[in-house]
Structure 1
Amino acid sequence: MLKNPASKYAAFPAINLPDRQWPGKTIKHAPIWMSTDLRDGNQALFEPMSIETKLAFFEMLTRVGLKEIEVAFPAASQTEFDFVRRLIEEKRIPDDVTIEVLTQAREHLIERTFEALRGARRAIVHIYNATAPEFRRTVFGVDRAGCIRLAVDAATRVREQAARYPETEWVFQYSPEVFSATELDFALEITEAVADVWQPTPARPMILNLPATVEGATPNVYADQIEWMSRHLTRRNATLISVHPHNDRGTAVAAAELALMAGADRVEGCLFGNGERTGNVDLVTVALNLYTQGVDPGLDFSNINEVARVVEEATRLPIHPRHPYVGDLVFTAFSGSHQDAIKKGFAVQQADAQWAVPYMPIDPHDLGRSYESVIRVNSQSGKGGIAWLMENAYGLSMPRRMQVEFSGVVQQHMDDTGAEMTASDLWQLFESAYLTAESPLRLIDHRLDESRERHGITLEVEAGGMPRTLAGTGNGPLAAALAALGVQAAIHSFEEHSLGTGSDARAVAFVEITVPGRPGTVFGAGCSTSIMEASLRALVSALNRSGVTAG
C-alpha cells in the first residue's frame, strides 16, 4: 500500500476528439530529427560538458546524420556563448546542418542570443514561455492575457533582432512550455498570437514545438492533443509541428510515435534519452523502431558502439545493459530455448530475404554488433558458474561484455568435448584463449617516455617470428602502442584489477578493441606484476585475437 490514497492525484481529462484519425494511421517516413543532447541533455548533467567535449559530441552528431542540432542556451553562461561562437568562427557547422539555440522570452536574453549567432549561415532561434495554469498562477502570477503579452513581446523582439542580421537565414521556433498540461484552447490562442507576429509562409514556415514537458497522461492523450492542434491551426501549411516528449511515465517513445501518427513533423530528443528527471525521448530507439518497420530513419547507426562510447564519455552516464538496441546484453540469449530458436533462425535466414529471426527484432550486424549465444551459468546451475567460478576461485573479475565473449569460448569447448568443466578447467581455457596462445605478435619489452605532452613508447616485439623495435606517440600509453604497431584499431574499453594480495599480487588487465570492417568488439587480457606490462599484453592479446597484424 502506498503512503496516501490514489485519490490524492487527479486523472488527466480526456480530449474531446471523437473522430480522431491517428489510430488508423502508420508512420511511412522519418520525421525531421532534432538533437537536444548539447542543450537540454547538457543541462541535466552533474557536470556539464566542456567546450572540447561538446565539440567532439557535435561532430559525432553530424556523422550520424543529424541535420538540426540544438547546441546551447548561449545567454545562460559565457561557456555556452563561447561554444556557439567557436562553431561559427571556426566553420565547424556543415553546410547541410542547422544549429538551434534556446532563449527565454526576455529582452536582454534574446539580444545576447542573437549576438552569439552572428555570422551563422542558418540558425533556429527557439523561444518559450510557460503556459500551463499552475505555472501561470503559482510561478509567474499572470493571467492568460499577461501570458500572451509575454509571448508576443518576445516574438516581436526576435523578429526585430533578426532584421539586424540579414546575412543569416533565420528560422523561428516557439514553445508553449508544459504544453501537455495547458488547456488546448489557450495553447492554440497563444500560438496564433505568436504566428501573427512572425507571419510564417509555406516557403518560410515557423516551428511550433508542443512539448510534453512533464508526461502526465497516457501516450494516446498526447496524440489527441497533437491532432487537435494540427486541425485547428490557422497556418498549418506554414507550421512545422515539433514534439519534445519527456519520459516521466516511461512512455516517451510511445508518445513520440503516436504523435507522428497524429501529424507531427519533427521529433526533439537525446540519443539515448538523457534529460531532466527521467529524461527526454530516446532518438536512437525511435529511429531504429522505424527501421525495424521498413522505414529508413535517415540516421546512420551502423556503428552504434562508437556512438554509445562518445555519449557515455561525454555525459559520464552509463547506458543500461538492457537498453534497446545498444545495451551490452540485448543481443545475448541466456535462455536455452531462446538460444535454440535464434540459432535455427540464423541457420535459415538468407542475406537477401526480409529479416525473420526469432527473438531478434533487428539484425545486430546492421548496427555493427554481433549476436552472442550464451548459456548463462551461476552458482546454482548444473554446468557450474563460469564468471562466478572464475571470480571465486581465482579472483578474476571479467568485464560484463568479456563474460559474454568468454562464455562463448567455453560453450564451444563444451560442445566439442561434451565434458563438464571445473574451475581449474575454466582457468586453463582462459589462459590458452587470452594469455598464452601462440600468436603472430608477441611483446618482449617496452619503454615509456612521458617527458613530452603526448605519451611516447618504444616496443620490443616479435612479429611473424622476427624481432622488431617500434616507436609511437599518443594521448596515452595504449594509444601510443597502437601508433607504434601501425594497426587500424580503436580502444573501446579498458579495465584492470589485482589478482591476489601482498608481494605475490599480480595485475590483470582487459582491453576491448574495435577493428574497422569487423562487427562487434574483441577482448584481450594480460597478466603481470606491472600494471603497464599487463595492459600492453592485453592489447597485444586483443590484436592477435582479432586477426590484425602489425604494420
Structure 2
Amino acid sequence: MTTPVKNRLEAAKGMQKGRITKYRPYPPIELEERRWPSQVLTTAPIWCSVDLRDGNQALPTPMGVAEKMEMFKLLVEIGFKEIEVGFPSASQIEFDFIRRLIEEELIPEDVTIQVLTQAREDLIRRTVDAVKGAKKVILHLYNSTSPQQRKIVFGLEKPEIIGLAIRATRLIKELAPTLSESQVIFEYTPESFALTEMDFALEISEAVIDVWQPTPENKMILNLPKTVEIAMPNVHADQIEWICRHLRNREAVIISLHTHNDRGTGVASAELGLLAGGERIEGTLFGNGERTGNVDLVTLALNMYMEGIDPGLDFSNLDRIRAIHEKCTHMEVPVRHPYAGDLVFTAFSGSHQDAIRKGMAAQDTTPGALWEVPYLPIDPADLGRTYEAIIRINAQSGKGGIAYVLEQEFGLQLPKAMHAEFGRIIQSLADTSGAELSSAQIFQAFEHEYFQSEGPYQLENLSIEQSNHASDTVSCTAQIRVDGVVRKVQAMGNNPAQAFVGALNQGDLANCKLLSYQAHPYTQGSDQQATAYVQVQTAAGKTLFGAALDADANGAAAKAVICALNRSEQIHQHVI
C-alpha cells in the first residue's frame, strides 16, 4: 500500500456528524417546464448487452474465450440484437474471441456486434482490425469529459479534450471504408457524462457529430453514461432532457443511456432517462459491473413486462439464464435479487402467505387473464419459476402458508378449520429448530401427528354399505380393538364418518360428536388413495382433528376418526 493511501486511511475517523462539509449535492439542472414527468413508457428501448465487455472487466477472474462464447450464445437466445463483444485492444483474449465470432460465422444475421475503443490512434487501428469481416458493427469511441478526469487524470483543458475526440472520430471515419464487408455504425460516449458540465457535454458531443455527419437515414449513437451515480434519478432525467432539447441535428442521433448503480438507483435512473428522451439502453444481466454494477437489464426489462410492455427479451427460463451467468462469471445472484433471486417469490410472513394462498386459489386461469395475486406482482410461471417455493415456513410463518405447502407439494387439502391446529404444531417445531423448515419436514410432521398416530383405538375390520332403508344413509359395521379387547359395533349415518362415530358411541367405546368430515382423492405416487379429515368433540368438550389415508374414502373416514380419538387420549395423558 502506498504511503499517501495508508496515511489517508489512518487519518479517517468515520463519518462526519452534523454539518457535512466533505461532500456536496449535485447542482440542479436549469430546465424550465420539464416534460419527462408527464411521459409514459409504451415501448421497449433498443437493448445493448455489455456483459462481454463492461461486465467482463468487472470480474475478479475475467471470462476466457469458452466462457465468453457461452455467454454470447445466451445473449443471442435471450434476444439481444446489439451486443458489445469486447475491448479488442485491451488483451489478446478479447481480440481472439472477436475474430472467432467473425471467422466461424457465429454472429446471427440480425445481431450487430459492438466494440469499444479509447481515443488513441493505436487502439483504434487495432479495434478496426479486430472487426474486419463482420457484417454489422458498432465502433464505440469514448473519452472522459468530467472536470475531475480533465484535471486529475489527464491534465488537459476543455479544448484539448475536444481535440482528442475530434481526431479519434476523424480516424475512425477514415478507416471505416476499409471495413468494406461491414455496415458500420458509429457510437460516441463522453465518459463520465453525468459529472460533466452540461454545456461542455453538449459542446463535445456536437463537435463529434459535426465530424461524423450522421443523417436521419444513417444515424449515429450518442451514449450518455451515468458512469458514476452521483445524484438522484430525477437529476439524470433532467440531464438527458436538457441534452435532447439543445442538441443540433437531434433527428440524426440515437440517444443511448448507460447507468451505473453507485447509489442503488441504476434501474430508476434508466427508467426516468427513457422518459426524458433516451431510446437505447446499455447494461448487463443482473447488473454485473464495476463497483456496485451496471443497470440490471433483467430487472429493467421485466419491470416493463410487468406494466404490459413487451420488452423484446425472453426471460421465460430465468433459472437457466441465471445458472449460465453464474457459471461464466463466477458471480452469484443474491437470493433477494429482483425476479431471479431464490427467495423473491417466497413469503415467510403468515399474513403474506395467507393472502398469496387465497390469491392463487382465486386467480383466473384463462390464458391472458389479468394477473391479480397479492404480494406477487408478476406470475412466477412466466419466468419459468415454480410455485413450490412461493411459501416457505419458519417461526414467522402462518397457518395459511403451511396449508399451502401441504396442498401444492403433497396434495393434502386441509379443511380451513384444521389450519390453526396443525399450524400450532409446526410453529412449535420451527421455534424449537430456530431455522426454516423444508416442505419435507412439514409433511413428515403431518404424517407423524395424523397418519401414524398411535393409541388405544385400532380398527380391525370395517364394512360400510348403502342403507336399504334410505338412499341418503349408510350402514357401518366395524370391529374395533380397544386396549387389546376386540368389540363389534354397528350404526347408520348420513356419511361414512358419521356412521362410524355412531357405531362407536352406541357400543360405548367412545362418547364423541362429529363436527365435520371432508375427503378427497390422493394421487401422490402411483397408488390411488383417499384422504379424509374429521373434526370431533369429546365428552370433555375438547375439539380436535384426525386425518388418515386409505385405499378408499370409507376406510379413510373411519381411520381419521380413530386418529382423532387416539390424539385425544394422547393429549389427555400429556395433561395428566
Equivalent in the alignment of 1:194: 208
Match runs of 1:151-162 below 5 Å: 151-162=165-176
Shift of 1:414: 5.4
Residues 1:270 and 1:147: Cα distance change in structure 2 (over 3 Å): same
Whether the 8 Å CA contact 1:383–1:421 is kept in 2: the answer is no
Shift of 1:7: 1.9
Equivalent in the alignment of 2:55: 41
Match runs of 1:91-490 below 5 Å: 91-352=105-366, 353-371=369-387, 372-377=389-394, 382-385=427-430, 388=433, 407-412=438-443
Deviations 1:205-244 (A, max 9, x none): 0000000000000000000000011111111111000010
Residues 1:383 and 1:114: Cα distance change in structure 2 (over 3 Å): same
For the residue of structure 2 that corresponds to 1:103, the secondary structure is: strand
The letter of the residue matching 2:365 is A
Whether the 8 Å CA contact 2:214–2:253 is kept in 1: the answer is yes
Q: Which runs of 5+ in 2 are unaligned?
A: 1-12, 398-425, 454-523, 528-576
Residues 1:82 and 1:388: Cα distance change in structure 2 (over 3 Å): farther
Residues 1:168 and 1:375: Cα distance change in structure 2 (over 3 Å): closer
Whether the 8 Å CA contact 2:86–2:115 is kept in 1: the answer is yes
Whether the 8 Å CA contact 1:373–1:408 is kept in 2: the answer is no
1-structure distance, mates of 2:335, 2:153: 39
Whether the 8 Å CA contact 2:79–2:314 is kept in 1: the answer is yes
1-structure distance, mates of 2:160, 2:224: 20
2:15 corresponds to 1:3: yes
Deviations 1:132-160 (A, max 9, x none): 01111111111110010000000000101
Deviations 1:525-545 (A, max 9, x none): xxxxxxxxxxxxxxxxxxxxx
Shift of 1:407: 2.5
Shift of 1:416: 7.4
Whether the 8 Å CA contact 1:375–1:411 is kept in 2: the answer is no
Residues 1:55 and 1:345: Cα distance change in structure 2 (over 3 Å): same
Answer with 375-384 or 257-266: which moved more.
375-384
Shift of 1:284: 0.2
Q: What CA RMSD, in Å, does the superposition of the two structures yield over aligned residues?
A: 2.4
Deviations 1:478-526 (A, max 9, x none): xxxxxxxxxxxxxxxxxxxxxxxxxxxxxxxxxxxxxxxxxxxxxxxxx
For the residue of structure 1 that corresponds to 2:99, the secondary structure is: helix
Residues 1:183 and 1:419: Cα distance change in structure 2 (over 3 Å): farther
Whether the 8 Å CA contact 1:374–1:411 is kept in 2: the answer is no
Q: Which runs of 5+ in 1 are unaligned?
A: 391-402, 423-436, 441-551
Equivalent pairs, count: 412
The letter of the residue matching 1:407 is S
The letter of the residue matching 2:370 is Q
The letter of the residue matching 1:382 is Q
Equivalent in the alignment of 2:460: none
For the residue of structure 1 that corresponds to 2:286, the secondary structure is: coil
Residues 1:144 and 1:410: Cα distance change in structure 2 (over 3 Å): same
The letter of the residue matching 1:3 is M
Whether the 8 Å CA contact 1:69–1:100 is kept in 2: the answer is yes
The letter of the residue matching 1:369 is R
1-structure distance, mates of 2:323, 2:91: 27
1-structure distance, mates of 2:210, 2:230: 30
1-structure distance, mates of 2:275, 2:345: 29
Residues 1:349 and 1:417: Cα distance change in structure 2 (over 3 Å): farther
2-structure distance, mates of 1:254, 1:420: 52
2:33 corresponds to 1:19: yes
Shift of 1:79: 0.7
The letter of the residue matching 2:31 is L
Whether the 8 Å CA contact 1:374–1:407 is kept in 2: the answer is no
2-structure distance, mates of 1:369, 1:309: 13
Deviations 1:76-123 (A, max 9, x none): 111100000000000000000000000000001000000000000010
2-structure distance, mates of 1:74, 1:204: 25
2-structure distance, mates of 1:294, 1:28: 9
2-structure distance, mates of 1:356, 1:389: 33
TM-score for the superposition, normalised by structure 2? 0.69
Whether the 8 Å CA contact 1:174–1:208 is kept in 2: the answer is yes
| The structure with more radius of gyration | 2
For the residue of structure 1 that corresponds to 2:429, the secondary structure is: coil
Shift of 1:2: 4.7
